Amino acid sequence: MFDFRVSTQTHFEDACRKFALTHNMNELAKRAEMKVQTLRNKLNPDQVHKLTVEEMLLLTDLTEDATLIDGALAQLSCLPCVPVNEHASEKFTAYVLNASAQVGTLAASAANHASITTSCRRGIVEAANTGIRCMMLAALAVQSRVHSNPALSGTADVLSGIGASIGMV
């Protein structure tokens, strides 16, 4: 069904480094009921101790930061996660504007012919992930608007049926 391929790139290791730099390890370790040094070691790719799936889920839940999950998905050559619990149909405009802003950031990076540093690469990947996430949330907002209005939903079903029948002729 799916052809997952583990990447040879260091996406998950990079995500662990970025996550560790972004958050206060002392506070996070307390909230996760871990020792600070243990958490630092697990987020350091040079150490033998690694995060378990449960720990990754806990840290993501505590921080509401999808960096670790996105890194794991990128390691499997998959797109970033889309937290559906963030979805709110009234935020459609905000999702579209944010996605457009992220595409603008990517365009500016593409136009810049300077060498790409590690932090620049991280910024480009983050902009792409955020853009994808916002585009999917915008699509979910449109879908929920259509399904929340029975008349509009029925019209959409009729139009898709007509389109299918025209395609068969």
How many other C-beta atoms are found inside a 10 Å radius of the C-beta of residue 137? 23
Q: How far is residue 53's CA from residue 14's CA, in Å, rounded to a whole number? A: 17
Q: Indicate the domain borders of the chain.
A: 11-75, 86-168
pLDDT in tens, 63-93: 999 999 999 998 988 888 887 777 777 788 8
User: Quick check: 1 pLDDT over 50?
Assistant: no
pLDDT in tens, 49-63: 999 999 999 999 999
